[in-house]
Structure 1
Amino acid sequence: MPGIELDKTATVAVSDGPLTANDILQLQPSYPDEPLDVLRARYDEDGMLLLKGLIPREDVLQARAKYFEMMSPTGVLKDDTTPVQGIFNPNNSPDDFPGIGAGAVGMNGRPGGDNAQAFVDLAIQAHYKDWYTKDLCKHSALLGFVAKFTGWKENTLGLKRSLLRNNVPHTKPIGVHYDQIFLRYGEPTSVTAWVPMGDVSLTGGGLIYLEGGDSVGQEFEENFNKKARECGLTEDEARNAFNQNMMSTGLLSENPAEFAKQYNRRWLVSSYDAGDVVLHKPHAIHASTVNNDPDNVIRLATDLRFVNEAKPYDARWTKYYEFGDGV
């Protein structure tokens, strides 16, 4: 797969250890001005599409600055740094600044202990601010591209529920999963846009994708649905049983390195720049790496979902994120 040469000196790590050179491959970059049929073919084949510079860089960095301006009173930022830099204060415990949906107490539970309460409260409030919900989530460059790329045009709907996640250095990354697990009440036709809100170094906690992971995710679905039919389960019973079959957090595994070896696949990795967007399919298997950024940069990113309003979709996602919303 052609692409940017990987930094051979960087060590990419996941929750069950470092990934070796044999475990990883560079995620292929694409560009918004390439022919749509070329981009669609790549998306269909790979299950994801890394679009470089889709959103103007300055617009993304403005949202990053707004977020850390909100978080600054909690002491999360290093002294004498600016909010847009998002440099973690090394004098603090990372446990006091958990990411939303980090999976510690379930994917939609409240993370952290008592010392994290002030930070978590502000992190949730950020989900409702205009600079996020309007200026970034509904950015014309993103929404316009998705509408053209999918062919949904005026039926393109950005779902309100999103996950605005920070990942301070050396905290628990997100485990192995695919998004249809959490969009169970709709057809598997949604498009996820993962938007890094700032530059993310190769070792800075970015998303990684399983090579050929879309087909693996579909196999999970097909195998379980086959078993459900054989057991005579109704559609609702099968849905509930499927979710119970996952880990309590909705994940396939907490161990990406082991998972990839089990399926004889590699992980596709990349650094990311502010303005980049990764589109991926509902069954594309992905995870995140440990944030070992050498400069203690906090990784900030959001997961946005788009659906065709003319087709059945998971209506639970039409409300803004809140703890315990059952999704």
Structure 2
Amino acid sequence: MVGLQAENLSVNDGPLTQANATLLRPSSPSLPLAELRARYEADGYLFLKQVLPREDVLSARESYFTSLESTGVLKPKTAPVEGIFDPAKSHLDYPGIGAGHVGGNGKPGGDRAAAFVDLALDAHYQDWYAEKFCRHPALYDFVARLTGWGDDTLNLRRTLLRNNIPGSKPIGVHYDQIFLRYGEPTSVTAWVPMGDIKINGGGLIYLEDGDTLGVELEQAFFKKAKDAGLSDEEAKSAFNTNMMSTGLLSEFPVGFAKEHGRRWLVSAYEAGDVVLHKPHMIHASTINNDPDNVIRLATDLRFCDSSKPYDKRWMNSYRFGDGV
């Protein structure tokens, strides 16, 4: 991990260094399916290199930042596809959707941020995103083959298209099944970087053996609830209310990893990369400390087996206050 110690790589409660972090394992989409499936089961994630055409990802990135250009978020005389934040502005006026309030989905920011936030939400409904990007055949076909779901593979319509301005609050520690509670834990999340992200640029980080821990945490809580005489539905409700109000396990990734004797898995990302992860895989994001003020843009796409029970709330497009 040459260079990690020197990187300005940090989360809410401190730096990530060689003492508490290591690198994600990359995988080529061309590896045999049996090997890719084994890695996904063993690691709880699959970090795929260049599974999407780079030009398609950058085209979507350009569309997004072109639509936000009128808000003044971009540095003057830079191209929208670069997504370079204007350092003369405050990141507080350009809040990211879902960052720091994963479960509540309230509208972030105040009146000063309203124009930016409204346009960031509107991007979810545009054809370049909702139809062309979210339903990209390269990703859909790969997931269908990897899972063996075939024609039963379903794109869940609700997605989270998130910008992360340099210096803004990162996403806390969580796993996705917390928000997919009304379905079986069989979904696959595809975290898709929409542009190149430096290792200190605010990308997603995964907890070492985090899927196993996520399952253990959930099972331990449900056992406690059942032992107390709660029904399955009451146990689910109690689990949700036991979470932080944001739906997070913790706001402090360094402390969380230390408590559980694990490291964080980190990486730089390139346009075209995708990370698939399991419903209980614990993850978070880093502070965007990009030295060139590049805005981190990424989306969460989810897939499920439509022949099994799944959370129907996720068939509605994202909106503020949807309670998911």
TM-score band w.r.t. shorter chain: over 0.9
Distance 1:321 1:105 in 2: 12
1:39 maps to 36
Asked if 1 retains the 8 angstrom alpha-carbon contact of 2:193 and 2:298, the reply is: yes
Distance 2:63 2:84 in 1: 14
Distance 2:237 2:166 in 1: 35
Spell out, residue by residue over 1:119-175, the C-alpha distance to the aligned partner (whole angstroms, 9 max, x if none): 000000000011001111100000000000000000000100010000000000000
Distance 2:154 2:310 in 1: 10
Asked if 1 retains the 8 angstrom alpha-carbon contact of 2:177 and 2:280, the reply is: yes
Asked if 1 retains the 8 angstrom alpha-carbon contact of 2:226 and 2:232, the reply is: no
The SS at the match of 1:84 is: helix
Residue 283 (structure 1) aligned to one of 280, 294, 298:
280
Distance 1:271 1:249 in 2: 27
Q: Do the aligned partners of residues 104 and 154 (structure 1) sit closer, same or farther apart at CA in structure 2, a change above 3 Å counting?
A: closer
TM-score (norm 1): 0.97
The SS at the match of 1:123 is: helix
2:59 maps to 62
2:305 maps to 308
**Unmatched runs of 5 consecutive residues or more in structure 1:** none
**Unmatched runs of 5 consecutive residues or more in structure 2:** none
Residue 168 (structure 1) aligned to one of 147, 155, 165:
165
Specify the code of the residue in structure 2 equivalent to 1:249.
T
Asked if 1 retains the 8 angstrom alpha-carbon contact of 2:101 and 2:247, the reply is: no
Instruction: Describe how 1:214-293 pairs up with structure 2 within 5 A.
Output: 214-293=211-290
The SS at the match of 2:146 is: helix
TM-score (norm 2): 0.98
Distance 1:265 1:234 in 2: 33
2:140 maps to 143
Spell out, residue by residue over 1:189-237, the C-alpha distance to the aligned partner (whole angstroms, 9 max, x if none): 0000000000000000000000000010001110011012112222222
Distance 1:28 1:299 in 2: 21
**Shift in Å, 1:90:** 0.7
Specify the code of the residue in structure 2 equivalent to 1:280.
H
Asked if 2 retains the 8 angstrom alpha-carbon contact of 1:186 and 1:314, the reply is: yes
The SS at the match of 1:164 is: strand
Specify the code of the residue in structure 2 equivalent to 1:149.
L
Q: Residue 194 in 1 paired to residue 194 in 2?
A: no
Distance 2:127 2:94 in 1: 23
The SS at the match of 1:135 is: helix
**Shift in Å, 1:104:** 4.5
How many residue pairs match? The answer is 324
Residue 85 (structure 1) aligned to one of 61, 74, 82:
82
Q: Do the aligned partners of residues 104 and 250 (structure 1) sit closer, same or farther apart at CA in structure 2, a change above 3 Å counting?
A: closer
Q: Do the aligned partners of residues 7 and 258 (structure 1) sit closer, same or farther apart at CA in structure 2, a change above 3 Å counting?
A: closer
Distance 1:94 1:225 in 2: 40
**Shift in Å, 1:7:** 4.2
